[in-house]
Structure formats: structure tokens, C-alpha cells
Amino acid sequence: MSDEVTLDVDDQVATLTLNRPAKLNAVTAEMSAAIVRAVEWCDGTDEVRAIVVTGAGRAFSAGSDIRELDRYATPWDFRNRTDYCDAIRAARTPTIAAVNGYALGGGLETALSCDIRIASTAATFAAPEIKLGWIGGGGMTSLLSRAIGPGNTALMIMTGEPIDAEQALRWHLISEVVSPDGLTARATAIAATIASRAPIAAETAKINLRAAYSLPEDKALEYERDLQTICFATEDAAEGRLAFTEKRAPVFRRR
């Protein structure tokens, strides 16, 4: 990784930390590339079964570092940049955002790109791009509208004004609000629970959830049944049935 993006693994839970606190964890091109590498590594190893994404200091992330945007030679180069939110959404491994402070612009998109979001009482969420003359491009409108509905999304992306953690909870942008001191422990506990489940089933559940939003209902139900059948054929499923019969905890493998 790098000093500005760290990855720590403990008991099959990886913690990916944006570590540029003096700049509110604003993401540079180098940081974006490091996030992509970190996610790809987690997907490719048996050492990781869940990922917690968080930020150092008083921010989750302020999004892309605006001072660096002029590094792109043309708008087309900017459009085709390596995007850290794309990498997080593409992860097979389940992801949990632990939002500890400001989640602004690309920082909000980073949180939205995770499967589960919890936040501390100090968290603030905003889509402020419109204040600078553009809109979010890392999935902001699509992901936000699915989470909080089109009306609330319009309010956020057209005004750029922030909401606090309690408002985010009421709008279902996040699942839980916890104290700042308890955020890391709670996010890690969720990740550890997921890591204890059958890895193929957890990854398949993630795929199925995305399909449920993308397919017509009849096709989504058919796809779910197909995925269930695939899971049922795994060694993990056989182990789960045997463990149930023997009244013991199952021991799951990744593959």
C-alpha cells in the first residue's frame, strides 16, 4: 500500500484506512491506485473475508483532491481515470463503511459503494460538487437515489448542503449511528460476523442483492434460485448441513 492508504488484516477482517488526515483524506491519483490494489488483493486472498473502509482523523473522506483535477490533460482523460469507487463496488468481498466524520463528494460515493454503512454521531454527508460547477461522477445520483429516494437525493445534489448522521439514519443512508469511540469496534464486529459465514455464500449474497435492483422481478427471482443452487453444491453447504446434524459450529472454507 502507501502511507496514505493503509491495509491491516486481523482474523480475516481487513481495515482499509484513508490516511491523509491533514487534507480530510482527499484522494489523490496515487491514493486511488492504492485503493484499487488493496481491494484487488483482498479479493484474491483467503486471508480476507470482509473489508472495513474508514478514514483517519476527523474525516472519512472529502472525495477527490480538487487541486489535482487539473492534472488531467483533457476532460476525456478525466472521464476515463481509474476510479476508487468503481473498485470498491466491484469488490467480491463484502464491504462495510465506517464513516467517522466528513463524507463529502467522492467520500460519500465511497461510502455508498460499500455494502453496509454505519456512522458515528460526528459524521456529516454531502454532495457539494454543484457548489463548484459540476456533479458527482462516481455513482452519486444512482446510488444515493436507491438509498434515500429521488426527492431526498434531489435535495442533496441540487443544493450541495450537508446532512448529519441522524438525518442520514432517518433517510436510510446508513444502518446505524454509534458513538465515535464505538465506531471501529462496531464496524469490526459486523465484519467479523460476515467473515465467520460461508465465504462463497457471502459473496453470492452480495451479487444477488445487486441483481435484485437491476433485473425485473421474475428474472431476479429466477437468478436467485440459480445462485442458491450454486451455493448448495459447494463444500461449505455440505459442511453446514453436516454441522447442523452434528450440532456443532460449521468450519467454512473460501473455495
- Taking a C-beta distance cutoff of 8 angstroms, is the pair 78, 32 a contact? no
129 is catalytic: yes
Phi, psi of 144 (to 5 degrees): -65, -40
Beta-strand relationship, 95-99 and 50-55: parallel
| Residue of 4, 109, 203, 224 marked active site | 109
Name the active-site residue from 4, 68, 129, 161. Answer: 129
109 is catalytic: yes
Distance CA(180)–CA(119), nearest Å, equals 8
- Cα(first)–Cα(last) distance of the chain, in Å? 26
C-alpha angle 71-77-81 in degrees, rounded to nearest 5: 85
* CA–CA dist 171, 166 (Å, integer): 9
Distance of CA 80 to the CA centre of its chain: 21
Pairing of strands 50-55, 5-10: unpaired
Provide the annotated active-site residues: 109, 129
